[in-house]
Amino acid sequence: MRVHDLTIDGVAVSAPEGTTVLDAARKKGIYIPHLCDRPDLKPVGVCRMCTVEVEGKGLVISCKTPVRDGMVVRTESEGVSKVRQVALELLIADHDSDCLTCAKDTNCSLQRVARHVGVDSPRLARIRRERDRRPLDTSNPFFDFDPNRCILCGICVRTCDELQNINAIDYTFRGTKTLIAGFGNRPRIETNCESCGECVVRCPVGALVPKDSRQPSKLVRTICSFCGCGCGMLLGVRDGEIVSAAGDFKNPASRGRLCVKGRYGYRYVNSPERLTTPLVKRDGEFIPVGWDEALDLVAEKFSESMGDSFATIASAKCTNEENYVVQKFTRVVMGTNNIDHCARL
């Protein structure tokens, strides 16, 4: 593929054809403020924070501008500062300002952009005003949506469309009434939302946040135990308890994505109802026993039922390899073809 050589703030950068200036800068570790762009989504160019100056072309948005040989890009200039500063002030003026109580505090793209770009405080004061508070959508059991913190970057909408192919949410209404919501402004629980939480992870601000927003004290890299897909995940642990789960973007199989079970279904681990030892029924009651005793009992019962009086139903929680072993055991050891799997239903 053709490679283009350009400079960004005087730094030489090479990037393959089709790369955007913003991506090229990102790869080189040069920060260009941005809010609506994400490397895993198609660029839309709506926040204007990524404005840069290209010699001979003037102001352009870097998330939509492909690299070209010989391009000279400046991320700072009078024109650049003006456009993005006023746009930023407009966003801030239309946003809640109680950052300390926001779940995304210190981890918010708007804060980062604001620190980088800076604001003209007197002007900001003049364009700030009392806003009507809009009702929260807390209908989803796993996460909440606060339109008062939403910057309408559209990342959630694009995530649901481009990555998940669900299209549960979209923009509704126009002008300042514009809102992200389900079809017909229905709460999320009444849409076809699968609660995968992919939008929640990508929301750059505190508009979409998990209901359980406890911060872990350490992360453990592991594989999701829910199904044979084996998505990579980072479990957040705090005082011996799992308090969060996040997709592992380094995992080549799942590339950071999880489904509703992997992302939000971790509470069973600490549930008091969880079985932690084998149980054997004696005289109508379940009695906890050791593994050896339990397995002996199973082997004894199996040997009483060789042939077609025996059948297995395998589990989707098992890997392919485990399922292979199950069928092999059933055919070769138990001598029957009575095999089924829950995923067939």
Partner 1 sequence: MTTSTAIRRPTELHARLVLPDVEIGICLGTGGVAAGGDEVFAAFEAGLAGTGVFAVVKPREDTCPGSCASIIGTGCRGMCAMDVLVDVLTRKEGVESKVTYGTVTEKMVAKIIEEHIIGGEPVHKWIVLSDDEPTSHNEFYQLQDRLVLRNCGTIDPEIIDDYLEAGGYRGLYKVLTEMTPERVHQEVLASGLRGRGGAGFPTGLKWKFAAEAPSATGEKFFICNGDEGDPGAFMDRSVLEGDPHSVFEGMAIGGYAIGADHGYVYVRAEYPLAIKRLKIALKQAEDRGLLGANIMGSDFSFHLKIKEGAGAFVCGEETALMQSIEGKRGMPRLRPPFPAQSGLWTSPTNINNVETLACVPWIITEGAEAFAGRGFEKSKGTKVFALTGKVKRSGLAEVPMGLTLRDVIYSIGGGMKDDKEFRAVQMGGPSGGCLPASLLDTRVDYEELNETGAIVGSGGMVVLDVDNCIVDTARFFLKFTQAESCGKCVPCRVGTVRMLEILTRICEGKGVQEDIGLLETLADDIKAGSLCALGGTAPNPVLTSLKYFREEFEEHIHEKKCRAGACAELTTYWIVAETCTGCRACSRACPVDAITGEKKEVHVIDPEACIKCGACYQKCRFDAVRRQ
Report the candidate in 211, 183, 184, 186 with the shortest Cα–Cα distance to residue 197. 211
Binds ligand SF4 by CB under 6 A, chosen from 92, 155, 231, 243: 155
From 150-158, 202-210, 276-284, 327-335, give the range in contact with partner 1 by CB under 8 A.
150-158
Q: Which stretch binds partner 1 (CB under 8 A): 11-19, 39-47, 252-260, 299-307?
A: 39-47
* Alpha carbon distances (Å) from 273 to 168, 186, 210, 237, 268: 34, 35, 24, 20, 8
For residue 152, the minimal CB distance to ligand SF4 (Å) is 5
Q: Does 178 bind partner 1 (CB under 8 A)?
A: yes
Counting runs of H as helices and runs of E as strands, what totals does the chain give? 9, 16
Q: Is residue 206 close enough to count as binding partner 1 by CB under 8 A?
A: no
DSSP 339: E
Q: Does 203 contact ligand SF4 by CB under 6 A? A: yes
Output the 3-class SS for 200-263.
HHHCCCCCEEECCCCCCCEEEEEECCCCCCCCEEEEEEECCEEEEEEECCCCCCCCCCCCHHHH
Place of tokens 């959630």: 156
Among 30, 41, 54, 59, binds partner 1 (CB under 8 A): 59
Residues 112-131 that bind ligand SF4 (CB under 6 A): none
The H or E element containing residue 302 is helix 291-304
Which residue of 51, 62, 109, 330 would you call a contact of partner 1, by CB under 8 A?
51
> Which of 7, 45, 96, 167 is close enough to bind ligand FES by CB under 6 A?
45
Kindly state the helix (H) or strand (E) to which residue 198 belongs, with its residue range.
helix 198-202
CB of 294 to ligand SF4, least distance (A): 40
Quickly list DSSP for 125-155.
Answer: HHH----PPPPPB--SSSEEE-TTT-----H
Interaction partner, residue 37 (ligand SF4, partner 1, ligand FES, none; CB < 5-8 Å by kind):
ligand FES
Residue 297 as a binder of partner 1 (CB under 8 A): the answer is no
User: 3-class SS at 344?
Assistant: helix
Cross-strand pairs, 238: 241
Least distance (Å) between residue 149 CB and partner 1: 14
| C-beta separation of 343 from 326 below 8 A | no
Q: Which of 154, 204, 232, 236: binder of partner 1 (CB under 8 A)?
A: 154
User: Tokens at residue 91, please?
Assistant: 């966003």
* CA distance linking residue 255 with residue 10, whole number of Å: 33
Number of residues that bind partner 1 (CB under 8 A): 32
CB of 183 or CB of 286, closer to partner 1: 183
Instruction: Give yes or no for residue 86 binding partner 1 (CB under 8 A).
Output: yes
Size of the site for ligand SF4 (CB under 6 A): 26
Residues in touch with ligand SF4 (CB under 6 A): 150-156, 159-160, 164, 166, 168-169, 180, 193-199, 203-205, 207-208
Query: Residues interacting with partner 1, by CB under 8 A?
Result: 44-48, 51, 59, 64, 82-83, 86-87, 90-91, 93-94, 123, 126-127, 129, 151-152, 154, 170-178
